[in-house]
Amino acid sequence: MTEDASTRPGEARASGPSVADTLASDGIPPPPPLLENCYTFLGDKDIGFGRYTSPEFFRRELESLWPRTWQWACREEHVPEEGDTYVYYIGPYSVIVVRSGEDVIEAFLNTCTHRGTRLLAGEGSGYSPAFTCPFHGWSWEINGTIRNIPGRWDFPHVKNETHDLQRVLCERWGGFVFINMDLHARPLADYLGVMPEHFRHFPLERRGVKLHVQKKLPANWKAAQEAFLEAYHNFETHDSPNGGNTQYDVFSKYVSRFIHNIGNYSPESLEDYAGDKFRQPLLTEEELLAFLGVYGIEVDGLQPGERARGVIAEKLRSHFGEALGVDLSQVSESVMLDSIEYHLFPNMFFFAGITVPMVYRFRPDGTDVDNSIFDLLLLEPLAEGAEPPEPPEPVLLDVEQSYTEVEALGWLGAIYDQDTGNLALQQQGFKTSRKPGLTLGNYQEARIRRVHMTLDEFLSNSDGAI
């Protein structure tokens, strides 16, 4: 369907069956949140390229966004015991997350209150029974209170209230530890909005980290994450039939979602795509079933009346159920198969699915406007009663390295190479264009626009709580 005089901006949708139609025809109904549909037109003005390339714009983000927004720093299982720490970097800032009591996790700025030295070096998990500055040996208990100041006689002006470690806000959701450096920020729950209710059906706190890959990407952090905020690119970037009829939801200024189906596709949604691919001839149900091969599952073919999506889901329920020790027999086709991706402002992605179980985080690489860091986690469901395992150390990939070097990613390695392969060209293209900004689809790219709108609120309101 094309947008014409009979539809208002943002009302047009791809032709053919919708995600809702697919979910309605699945054998096991999906959890109610997946049936929600929440979209309003947000505008169609171009987004200036300078927002991705300008050192001045980037500086404003460092001043007014990152020190004031909630962001997850680590998983709770990164700090399972008292004294366990996790050092998190964002731009020029660094925060220490520490388990300071059996069920107490706190966070402090990673800086000495004497002369400012970072207390802990290196990002990631660690252990500190107390914090001791390597410069002059000032030390603090793990709850941030002063423990000892060598030569205290010289510091009569130093008091706990002025020289304890500088606390930052710290809350937990879904097994993640979130921090916010702005002591006046609104609570995390205000940001999460619908997410706690939605993820009640796919609890992330009952998952464990199977894999963590951290890769440097040659593009601004927003361009990098925007490669994952829509599935419109699937046809061209991934040579995939899925994505043309993806559902997009914008629940609030912080939370958005897409759902795109796997195991079926809508040829009608590709009606004006170049060439005949996936339309002449159509992919057969048998060809769709071959997707199981990526999991090493043998395909017996379809019985009369069977559809690939249902058979794939059933095979994967038993395959993953056995492998994980989890009963997946009543899990809907959608949760088993689909790419159900929630985005939390400004830079976090949480997937609800079983076979698409990712978490993403995109950050500037230090203070470099043109480069970013992409954390990719795979979260596996835990067997009933099982404790999350110790998270694996991140696999570090540099810009030039391929995701296919990470064996544990399996077939996904090539997909992520495709996703990230456009980024250097895009960042370079931003700087070449005479046209001053990028153009977004009203529906399929609305999530990108929503992020920029909320970002503008942070940048234009540099003091108040957002």
Using CB under 8 A as the binding rule, whether residue 85 contacts other proteins is answered as yes
Encoded one letter per residue, x for contact with other proteins by CB under 8 A and - for no contact, window 287-326 reads ----------------------------------------
- Within 8 A by CB and 6+ apart from 181, the residues are 66, 67, 68, 93, 95, 109, 168, 169
Name which position in 26, 84, 338, 365 contacts other proteins (CB under 8 A): 84
Using CB under 8 A as the binding rule, whether residue 143 contacts other proteins is answered as no
Name which position in 29, 55, 127, 187 contacts other proteins (CB under 8 A): 127
Name which position in 42, 109, 120, 466 contacts other proteins (CB under 8 A): 120
In contact, 193 and 350? CB cutoff 8 Å: no
Using CB under 8 A as the binding rule, whether residue 413 contacts other proteins is answered as no
Name which position in 134, 150, 325, 436 contacts other proteins (CB under 8 A): 134
* Beta carbon nearer to other proteins, 126 or 410: 126
Given the DSSP bridges, would you call strands 47-48 and 437-438 parallel, antiparallel or unpaired? antiparallel
Name which position in 21, 36, 387, 390 contacts other proteins (CB under 8 A): 390
* Beta carbon nearer to other proteins, 113 or 180: 113
Given the DSSP bridges, would you call strands 358-365 and 368-381 parallel, antiparallel or unpaired? antiparallel
Chain center to CA of 417: 17
Q: Which residues of 352-381 are buried (b: 16+ CB within 10 A; e: fewer)?
A: bbbbbbbbbbbbbbeeebbbbbbbbbbbbb
As measured in angstroms, the least distance from the Cβ of 371 to other proteins is 23
Name which position in 4, 102, 129, 384 contacts other proteins (CB under 8 A): 129
Residue 131, classed as helix, strand or coil, is strand
Name which position in 10, 31, 50, 126 contacts other proteins (CB under 8 A): 126
Using CB under 8 A as the binding rule, whether residue 125 contacts other proteins is answered as yes
In contact, 90 and 107? CB cutoff 8 Å: no
Binding part of the chain for other proteins, among 129-137, 167-175, 191-199, 296-304 by CB under 8 A, reads 129-137
Name which position in 9, 122, 150, 429 contacts other proteins (CB under 8 A): 122
Q: Is the dihedral of CA 190, 193, 195, 200 positive or negative?
A: positive
- How many residues bind to other proteins according to rule CB under 8 A? 16
- Within 8 A by CB and 6+ apart from 388, the residues are 75, 76, 77, 175, 207, 208, 209, 382
Distance CA 94, CA 391 (A): 21
As measured in angstroms, the least distance from the Cβ of 77 to other proteins is 12
Residue 158 CB: number of other CB atoms within 10 A? Answer: 14
**Assigned token pair, 340:** 């159900």
Using CB under 8 A as the binding rule, whether residue 387 contacts other proteins is answered as no
Summarize as ranges the residues that interact with other proteins (CB under 8 A).
83-85, 120-122, 125-129, 132, 134, 390, 392-393
